[in-house]
Structure 1
Amino acid sequence: MRIIGLAGWSGAGKTTLLTRLIPELRGRGLRVSTLKHAHHAFDVDQPGKDSFEHRAAGASQVLVASAKRWALMTEHRDAPEPALAELLTHLSPVDLVIIEGFKREAHPKIEVHRAANGKPWLHPEDPRIGLVASDVAPPPGAPAWVSLDDIPAIADAALRLAVDYR
């Protein structure tokens, strides 16, 4: 299994890029999974649903299954947030895992940058960024740059920069 990350500030277009990148990679015959870092208060469950009530009652894990999909929710309660390496062990083997977020973790990344955000570039502080995907050219000395709209080039770079995990 190989991994590559998309890193950028909120609103830079990471998810938009990811939803365009996955079909490109699948069209090349690759099996793709994603791992997304979410805000600490996120919840996939809803009050009033049985699974929510199971967790609220104290269940450590709740697995919800149907004919189309299954989801496993694990409560951390007072435990620290799991590290990226631990989370990756929960994924089934695929050709490529694209990690959205986890910008401070030590894995190869593509920086997603949108000028309108007004946020600083990440690559000067992170030597693991091997490509910048942006709507504007980065400053001199930046890694290679491609337009946010050049999905085939970003896919090529993702495959070139990805590293083996496991």
Structure 2
Amino acid sequence: MTSTNETRIRRAMTNVSKGEANRMTLPAWVRDLDPDQLDDVHGWLDPKAPERGALLVPTDDGPVGIGLRSSAGGARAAAMCALCRTTHTVGGVALFAAPRKGAAGRQGDTVGTYICADLACAQHVRVETATAALKPTPGTTVDERRAGLRERAVEFVGAVTGAIQTA
């Protein structure tokens, strides 16, 4: 049975067709999200198609979902995620492309950026101290990193949808 929250999350997907949104496999924790209570950016990989993923971004107008596709493999050197600004070891960051909303996206126009390969930016910004594999932005607090992630994710949503969003 499909929950109301799951239906709302699928409807929030702005740059994929209704059919693609309905075929997307949502992990259990995503189905449990309440779109009205989002205060963090949430990302996940489709368990049945790991080259596909999604971001759910809170905006002033409600949550906006962006469907993503990853490139083959991750970065071949240490790299920084453009959204959460966390530095990862080899393979921890991948190039993700999102089709633009509407006719442009149907014609193959995309927006790409380097994002954490596991799309777990919300968890990575909460890391208090650097580890061998994960290094948050030095000199910043968790709250500053969370706010920065949301701001950059909203900018990415604006690039994909062609709309200017405010955080």
TM-score over 0.5 (shorter chain): no
Instruction: Answer 1 or 2: higher relative contact order, Cα 8 Å, separation at least 6.
Output: 1
Higher-Rg structure is 1
TM-score range normalised by the length of the shorter chain: under 0.3
Normalized against structure 1, the TM-score is what?
A: 0.25
